């Protein structure tokens, strides 16, 4: 018979916060294991040592590296992966011998804990039990006597090791937050709190539940004295008498309507954001848009973000117009160009409501996806071209099909947006069949995926060889005209028809 494996949370530091169940398992253990840094005492052992039974076997799992550099050929990740494998093998030897192994975890075993790496390697091979523990943030909020969330407040737990802009964005987008893993990350965390407008309600808690615990406002913390065993508590909006940013909606206009800006962020890279749009975003107080696009706008103090789903464009536009009518400075954001299958049309649709008659709307252009894909490929839209969306969410497929036939028959270069999605898998195959009725099988096709992003891929193929199964919502297709060709420099479409060349 093999032994039992138990992951036991021992809480944040005070031995009195160990649960009764955890205490019982520790007292009954044959082997007690715990993690420790090089040359350091195990905090988990210190918390639970008073419960160790006589004669228990102790297994200290000492990290080869915690911060800094390592000479391991696989680097930091390689050193830790090897350490976890070797540690799992040590514990497995006890389990194979029929011993009950208890692995201690500070706080809760499955909350930013090292236990989970042993769980991944051992739980499928041995009977396993997990005992939850009091997490550090629960002890921290108790120490500061600070109610964290109430009513509909949303709590977000964040590691301080996130990139500073991402941390600021997430802090701005939630009602309450816990920021863990401080230490050397604290200066960046404080800057992120300030950029998100959350610094005034941020509390710093150090060594929660221990005799030396202390807490104070983050503004007053000496960054050079912050240990790893500390965290930041940002209390919820209802605690601070503020309405949730995501639900902010003026009930009555408070002054003259402000101009509503509708801006295109480009396909992705910061370098494709126009200076005009960048300056506009720096001057608004609210950004409204589809969640992934809102996330691309850097967070800063005073900026409120309003993210929503992908199929509520008109509702989103109305919300932005209401903010602008109340005198707020607002930008509605779109990927690519806002006027090309973007939010501009939805804003003008919503603006036809007489209630918004006094709200001026201005559209600022951005680099469109078709421009980005064409540039990567060469010059496929160097002559007459048409742009279509294959989505039939807002128009019947019969309309899409009629327009496909017309564009194909007119020998336009054709750019296809929204070629497929999880729920729309047949349209691209149908479009290919229709186009083959009018175009040669060797017609050049460019498939651009995630152009401008780290995952970008560009495939040049033919209409006959195009595989619809490899096309998804991240793709934009450019179907060449009869004259489109692949040359030494890339894909291009001549500016002339027949032998006549137009003057440049």
Measured between alpha carbons, how far is residue 311 from residues 308, 393, 396 in Å?
A: 9, 9, 17
CATH of 138-234 among 3.40.50.300, 3.40.30.10, 3.30.950.10, 3.30.300.30: 3.30.950.10
pLDDT: which is higher, 231 or 151: 231
Q: What is the pTM of this model?
A: 0.70
Contact 502, 467 (CB under 8 A): no
Q: What is the dihedral of CA 376, 344, 415, 484, to 10 degrees?
A: -60
Whole-number pLDDT of residue 371 = 96
Q: Quote the CA–CA distance of 334 and 136 in Å, as a whole number.
A: 40
Residue 244, pLDDT above cutoff 50: no
The arrangement of secondary structure in 5-134, i.e. its CATH architecture, is 3-Layer(aba) Sandwich (3.40)
CATH of domain 248-364: 3.40.1010.10
**For 159-183, how does the pLDDT look when each residue is reduced to its tens digit (9 = 90+)?**
999 999 899 989 988 899 999 989 8
Whole-number pLDDT of residue 245 = 47
CATH 3.30.70.600 fits 370-492, yes or no: no
Tell me the pLDDT of the chain averaged across its residues: 90
Residue closest to 251 by CA, chosen among 360, 350, 328: 328
Residue 500, pLDDT above cutoff 70: no
Residue 228, pLDDT above cutoff 90: no
Q: How far is CA 395 from the centre of its chain?
A: 31
Q: Quote the CA–CA distance of 92 and 101 in Å, as a whole number.
A: 9
Domain locations along the chain = 5-134, 138-234, 248-364, 370-492
**For 58-106, how does the pLDDT look when each residue is reduced to its tens digit (9 = 90+)?**
999 999 876 667 778 878 788 889 999 999 999 999 999 999 999 999 9
Whole-number pLDDT of residue 243 = 45
Whole-number pLDDT of residue 254 = 57
Whole-number pLDDT of residue 256 = 82
| Percent of the residues in the chain that have a pLDDT greater than 70, as a whole number | 94
**For 267-299, how does the pLDDT look when each residue is reduced to its tens digit (9 = 90+)?**
988 889 999 999 999 999 999 999 889 989 988
Fold equal for 248-364 and 370-492: no
Q: Quote the CA–CA distance of 1 and 187 in Å, as a whole number.
A: 52
DSSP 394-458: SS-HHHHHHHHHHHHHTT-EEEEES---SS--SHHHHHHHHHHTTS-TT-EEEEEESTTSTT-EE
Q: Quote the CA–CA distance of 326 and 256 in Å, as a whole number.
A: 7
């Amino acid at each position: 018979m093999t032994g039992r494996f138990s992951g036991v949370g021992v809480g944040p530091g005070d031995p009195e916060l160990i649960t009764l169940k955890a205490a019982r398992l520790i007292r009954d253990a044959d082997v007690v294991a715990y993690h420790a840094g090089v040359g350091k005492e195990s905090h988990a052992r210190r918390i639970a040592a008073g419960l160790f039974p006589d004669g228990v076997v102790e297994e200290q799992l000492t990290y080869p590296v915690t911060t800094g550099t390592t000479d391991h050929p696989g680097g930091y990740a390689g050193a830790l992966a090897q350490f976890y494998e070797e540690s799992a093998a040590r514990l497995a030897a006890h389990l194979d011998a029929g011993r009950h192994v208890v692995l201690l975890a500070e706080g809760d075993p499955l909350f930013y804990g090292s236990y989970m790496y042993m769980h991944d390697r051992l739980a499928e091979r041995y009977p396993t039990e997990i005992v939850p523990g009091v997490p550090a943030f629960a002890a921290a909020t108790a120490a500061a006597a600070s109610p964290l969330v109430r009513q509909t407040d949303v709590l977000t737990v964040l590691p301080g090791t996130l990139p500073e802009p991402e941390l600021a964005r997430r802090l701005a987008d939630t009602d309450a937050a816990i920021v863990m893993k401080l230490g050397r990350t604290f200066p960046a965390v404080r800057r992120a709190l300030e950029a998100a407008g959350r610094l005034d309600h941020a509390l710093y808690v150090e060594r929660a539940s221990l005799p030396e615990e202390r807490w104070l406002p983050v503004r007053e913390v000496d960054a050079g004295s912050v240990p790893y065993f500390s965290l930041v508590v940002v209390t919820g909006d209802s605690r601070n008498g503020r309405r949730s940013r995501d639900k902010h909606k003026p009930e009555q206009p408070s002054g003259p309507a402000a101009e509503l800006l509708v801006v295109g962020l480009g396909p992705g890279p910061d370098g494709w954001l126009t200076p005009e749009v960048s300056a506009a975003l720096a001057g608004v107080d609210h950004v409204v848009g589809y969640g992934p696009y809102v996330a691309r706008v850097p967070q800063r103090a005073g900026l409120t973000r309003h993210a929503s789903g992908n199929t509520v464009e008109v509702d989103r536009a109305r919300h932005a117009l209401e903010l602008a009518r109340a005198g707020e400075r607002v930008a509605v954001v779109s990927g690519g160009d806002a006027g090309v299958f973007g939010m501009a049309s939805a804003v003008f649709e919503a603006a036809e409501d007489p209630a918004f008659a006094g709200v001026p709307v201005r559209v600022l252009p951005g680099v469109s996806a078709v421009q980005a894909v064409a540039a990567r490929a060469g010059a496929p839209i160097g002559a007459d071209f048409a742009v279509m969306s294959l989505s039939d969410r807002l128009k019947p497929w019969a309309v899409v099909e009629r327009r496909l036939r017309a564009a194909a028959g007119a020998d336009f270069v054709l750019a296809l947006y929204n070629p497929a999605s999880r729920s729309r898998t047949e349209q691209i195959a149908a479009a290919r069949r229709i186009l083959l009725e009018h175009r040669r099988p060797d017609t050049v096709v460019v498939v651009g995926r995630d152009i401008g992003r780290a995952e970008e891929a560009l495939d040049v193929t033919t209409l006959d060889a195009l595989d619809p199964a490899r096309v998804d919502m991240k793709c934009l297709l450019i179907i060449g005209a009869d004259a489109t060709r692949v040359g030494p420099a890339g894909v291009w479409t001549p500016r002339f028809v027949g032998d006549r060349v137009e003057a440049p």
